Structure 1
Amino acid sequence: MADWVREVFSVQKPVIAMLHLSALPGDPGFDTRAGLTAVVDRAKEELDALQQGGVDGVMISNEFSLPYLTKTEPITAITMARIIGQLLGDISIPYGVNVLWDGRASIDLAVATGAQYVREIFTGVYASDFGLWDTNIGEVARHRTRIGGAGVKLFFNIVPESATYLAQRDLASITRTTVFATLPDAICVSGLTAGAPTDLEALSVVKKSAGTVPVFVNTGVRAENVADQLALADGAIVGTYFKKDGVFENPAERERVAELMANARSAR
């Protein structure tokens, strides 16, 4: 596994928690009456639950900006930068960002806020619930260098949620060429939607094909399966399970975080 994972997270097989921001200005679900104060207040409460529960890192995303755009409006990353600025004094673990589903905006936000990593769909062409979804990793990689973000680690999700790869290629081939031609820092393997189980067979195929590039399980990790997932993967990204009752829309709950993290520590 790449040395950078231990350097950033100070552990093997880290568990990164998702901090899902409520709907933001411009999103259909934004609560104009409660305003950004309510978004920040919830984010602070959830950050506290995640950190007190013992996660190794946090990824801040606009998860409730449904329906997603593949090229976001400027207001989204600008608002996220403001929110993260208000959270920085409380963040005590490595943090990353994810502007769904916009790799360039994610890198911009990381550079602006000092985030150490981003997760996005950086490669491939897909038929998705959001329409035809195209990417341009060559342009995005050069943009990262131009704006001083060469040190920002890129997590490539090669099994995107709510989408199907248009080329008829098997997962092993996609993984090998992604590693060779596009230089990911890590690869993420997902289920169909947030919280959906990641297929262990798919995870195994990606791990065997990725060489020295770290592979993270990206969805569906639970207290009862984290040991099995980490037996294959080099780390995990967890969102839905940490929520009250395991419900996507609910806030994170410290007790659920602590339960999963105890099992993760025993497994690694």
Structure 2
Amino acid sequence: MQNWLEEMFKVKKPFIGMCHLLPLPGDPYYSDGDLKQVIEWAKRDLMALQNGGVDGVLFSNEFSMPYVTKVPTVTVACMARIIGELRTYIKVPFGVDVLWDPIATLDLAVAVDAYFVREVFSGVYASDFGLWNLNFGEVARHRRAIGAQKVRLLFNIVPESARYLADREPVEIAKSTVFNHRPDALCVSGLTAGVPANTSTLQKIKEVLPDVIIFANTGVCIENVEEIIRVADGAIVGTAFKYDKRFENHVDENRVKELMDKVKSLRART
């Protein structure tokens, strides 16, 4: 199952950098009338991530707060334009995530030829944005209908700012998700962006599902990367790459390089 990961990223245990998009048209905090600013912000972060040495990039409408579970068409259209304008600058495998709408995420992936997507695809949750009810059977059929079978699916099984309504442990959720939905990888998160995933949870899931790809999805930083890389098959990094490690700031190329140099050193030992 891990063959696709190394084939795509050309390394073991790839680290994917987040390219967080500023608020978009229709979002409450959009700066009216200037999508070019959003594009320039994204381009600067993309270049910093790539120059710093990440193995892949994930584009997400991270600043479209407060999030909705069914995004308007304008969000997908604007994200497609942004990624389209940046396409010639993208030098690594990239993915997309339209928070928090799996159908829209797959639609965007097809439009921009993304390699992978990350989303919450299944489960019922009590969340900061209301009751969150997902049916992966519907998503899987939509994926087939739009010809997105080659897009790799990274399932976030511990979604941020939400809790599974059923009293189930993450290991149980991981096992049933793999059995029922056949994900390409599982992502384990902390409470919010920048909050580390529980390493013991990562370890337990990996022990019961040794052949399944497991990503640490939040909170990976230079202080815990050695522990994370020992357990997980890869990581998705956002906040730790930013100036002063602040969620709302630009990506700091020096921070990216510092962490990725350590990652490459750790990978060389395995």
Whether the TM-score (by the shorter chain) exceeds 0.5 is yes
Cα displacement string for residues 208-255 of structure 1 (whole angstroms, at most 9, x for unaligned residues):
233412000000000121111010000000000001010000000100
1:242 corresponds to 2:266:
no
1:80 corresponds to 2:73:
no
- Corresponding residue for 2:58? 59
Cα displacement string for residues 177-228 of structure 1 (whole angstroms, at most 9, x for unaligned residues):
1001111000000000000011111111221233412000000000121111
- Corresponding residue for 2:180? 181
- Determine if contact 1:52/1:254 at 8 Å carries over to the other structure: yes
Distance 1:120 1:107 in 2: 10
Distance 2:162 2:104 in 1: 20
Distance 1:58 1:92 in 2: 9
Structure 1 window deviating more from structure 2 (223-232 vs 17-26): it is 223-232
Distance 2:67 2:31 in 1: 17
Distance 2:239 2:169 in 1: 28
Distance 1:121 1:96 in 2: 14
- Determine if contact 1:15/1:235 at 8 Å carries over to the other structure: yes
1:28 corresponds to 2:32:
no
Shift of 1:51: 0.2
Q: Identical aligned pairs, as a percentage?
A: 55
- Corresponding residue for 1:193? 192
1:16 corresponds to 2:11:
no
Shift of 1:24: 0.2
1:2 corresponds to 2:35:
no
Shift of 1:55: 0.1
- Determine if contact 1:2/1:212 at 8 Å carries over to the other structure: yes
Distance 2:157 2:189 in 1: 8
Distance 1:210 1:100 in 2: 27
Shift of 1:129: 0.3
**Secondary structure at the residue paired with 2:76?**
helix
1:133 corresponds to 2:132:
yes
Cα displacement string for residues 84-126 of structure 1 (whole angstroms, at most 9, x for unaligned residues):
0000010000000000000110000000000000000001100
Distance 1:195 1:244 in 2: 13
Q: Give unmatched runs, 5+ long, in structure 1.
A: none
User: What aligned pairs does 1:52-131 form with structure 2 within 5 A after superposition?
Assistant: 52-131=51-130
Query: Stretches of 4+ moved more than 2 A in 1?
Result: none
**Secondary structure at the residue paired with 1:134?**
strand
- Determine if contact 1:175/1:209 at 8 Å carries over to the other structure: no
How many residues of Structure 1 are paired with residues of Structure 2 in the alignment? 267
Relative to the length of structure 1, the TM-score reads 0.98
Distance 1:209 1:151 in 2: 27
